[in-house]
Amino acid sequence: MDKPILIIDFGSQFTQLIARRVRQAGVFSQVLPHNASIDTIREMEPCGIILSGGPASLEEATAPGCDPAVFGMGVPVLGICYGMQLMAHTLGGQVARSGKREYGLRQLSLDIKSALFSGLEAACNCWNSHAYQVTALPPGFSQTAATDTCPIAAMEDGERKLYGVQFHPEVTHSQQGMAILTRFVRDICGCPGSWRMENYAASAVKEIKTAAGNGTVLLGLSGGVDSAVAAALIHQAIGGKLHCVFVDHGFMRKGEPEMVREVFTRHFPVSLTAVDASARFFGKLNGIIDPEEKRKVIGHEFVSVFREEALKLGQLDHFAQGTIYPDVIESGAAPGSAVIKSHHNVGGLPRELGFTSLIEPLRTLFKDEVRDLGRVLGLPEEMVKRQPFPGPGLAIRTLGELTPEKVAITRESDAILREEFDRSGFAKNASQYFTVNTDIRSVGVMGDGRSYDTAVAIRVVTTDDFMTADWARVPYDLLAQISRRITNEVPGVNRVLLDVTTKPPASIEWE
Ligand code: XMP
């Protein structure tokens, strides 16, 4: 196996992003906590080390450090933000609070004769977030970049192969950031760049085998990409010892329950319990129109059905989830690299189910990496490329009280929208697209008769992070085709609307 780039984590929210960029450069990377011992670091035989940023300041008594021997191992070290300050402080330079906190984009001038910036453009934008900076270089270092508020924005000691950057090359806003990281890991550290997602699959399979031992694993399939990829991966590791429970609450998109059943019986023959619980969910939701109440009832019922089915399977040893890195950040959990962590309450599953550990093999991956991994594992493209879909599914796209007839309108119109977006190629321009049963009826004419039927809305958004979104400018001809098909093919619909609202003030979903 390739020697890794070790990323020593000082608590930056970008640590896993650094790891991801290193993977993007085709290099194997591993994240270690800052207090890892020098023996552990040496045993891993890194070809280079990156010190992450972090929220602390070196003035604090509790400021995290790393073993100073890291700087004398003879392998190249790149310190980013706090990592650069720690390097300077440890090796005899000085760090002080800046007059002004530097936050956001800054114009950066680079010394392109330096080893790290060789071959780059001499000026570019870089993204910063710091209140402290290096004010005096440690002996042996030279200054290699500056911004107007940070004279030592980068430094290096070519002899000892030590490098520091005050800005964040790992974020996309930093122009040339990827080029800087690639230069470090490929040219300076000499990593071959042969790492591929196949390697991740192979090492995750090994780790899962060790974690599961001879035990059995339970995984809930939601119909989404993440749990499907986790299931395929765990299946590769332990085969028939993986038990999957798939609860169909009745609010899946057209064809999804069938696809889950097909893939996880034929392609990945896991032990699959697929429950059609739709009648039970509709029963519980009877008369409920408040969106929050609907969500609560669905969430609660989901856990109940899942638990009942899990108990029927008898005692299983481990619980697995398709948690991905953005979920880890969102839940506020400490960003760790471990695939396995000790178990406590998981997704509302009580301890009484008696699992000994939690297996989360996608914990360090970003969404597009999860999709790549799914492809590597051989999951069908239509499963891997699916857009995000909320847990309560079509229930929150069917306004008002839920009935099978109303949800059928949402499902059938959504299928037409998806088909037309795929056929026309517009799908690649949208982050999320779906239809909404507005629960509004209006008058129309059909043939010679008057109709009084449902209006369906089309929601199409573009967004990077789903926190804010714009409505997508869908071509009129495509809208016309979708509208024509929905009103012709979906019984009970006589009007189609287009949602032209940004988020905020609207949310992406309607409920
Ligand atoms: P909103 O409607 O809040 O949606 O603008 C932002 C993103 O989150 C998805 N979403 C959910 N995902 N469970 C989920 O897993 C949920 O309950 C849920 N509600 C909204 C939504 O589809 C969009 O991508």
For the CA of 299, the closest atom of ligand 1 is 17
Alpha helices in 379-457 (DSSP H): 381-384, 404-424
Query: HEC string of 217-240?
Result: EEEEECCCHHHHHHHHHHHHHHHH
* In-domain check, residue 511: no
Sign of the alpha-carbon dihedral angle for 449, 450, 455, 460: positive
* In-domain check, residue 394: no
The rounded distance, in Å, linking the Cα atoms of 249 and 349 is 18
Neighbour order of strands in the sheet with 217-221: 271-276, 242-248, 217-221, 318-320, 357-359, 340-342
Instruction: State pLDDT tens for residues 371-415.
Output: 999 999 999 998 998 888 999 999 999 999 999 999 999 999 999
Regarding whether 137 and 102 lie in a shared domain, the answer is yes
Enumerate the β-bridge partners of residue 94: 136
Q: What was the pLDDT predicted at 335?
A: 39
* In-domain check, residue 395: no
Regarding whether 277 and 423 lie in a shared domain, the answer is no
Distance 358 CA to ligand 1 centre (A): 25
List the Cα angle 270/271/272 in 5-degree steps.
95
Ligand 1 close to Cβ of residue 327 (< 6 A): no
* pTM: predicted TM-score of the whole model, two decimal places: 0.81
Q: What was the pLDDT predicted at 344?
A: 35
Q: What was the pLDDT predicted at 1?
A: 61
Ligand 1 close to Cβ of residue 391 (< 6 A): yes
| 274 within 8 A of 257, measured Cβ to Cβ | yes
Any idea what the CATH number is for the domain that residue 374 is in? Answer: 3.40.50.620
Tokens describing residue 272: 């699959």
Distance 107 CA to ligand 1 centre (A): 36
3-state helix, strand, coil in the chain (%, to 5): 35, 25, 40
Any idea what the CATH number is for the domain that residue 43 is in? Answer: 3.40.50.880
Q: What was the pLDDT predicted at 447?
A: 81
Instruction: State pLDDT tens for residues 267-285.
Output: 999 999 999 999 999 999 9
| Domains: count for the chain | 3
- The segments of the chain whose pLDDT lies below 50 read 334-348
Sign of the alpha-carbon dihedral angle for 129, 130, 131, 136: negative
Ligand 1 close to Cβ of residue 432 (< 6 A): yes
* In-domain check, residue 87: yes
Regarding whether 368 and 244 lie in a shared domain, the answer is yes
* In-domain check, residue 389: no
Range of the domain at 222: 197-384
Regarding whether 300 and 166 lie in a shared domain, the answer is no
* In-domain check, residue 510: no
**Share of residues in the chain with pLDDT > 90 (%):** 80
Regarding whether 213 and 161 lie in a shared domain, the answer is no
The rounded distance, in Å, linking the Cα atoms of 221 and 379 is 14
Residues forming the active site:
81, 168, 170
* In-domain check, residue 504: no
Nearest to 170 by CA among 343, 50, 325: 50
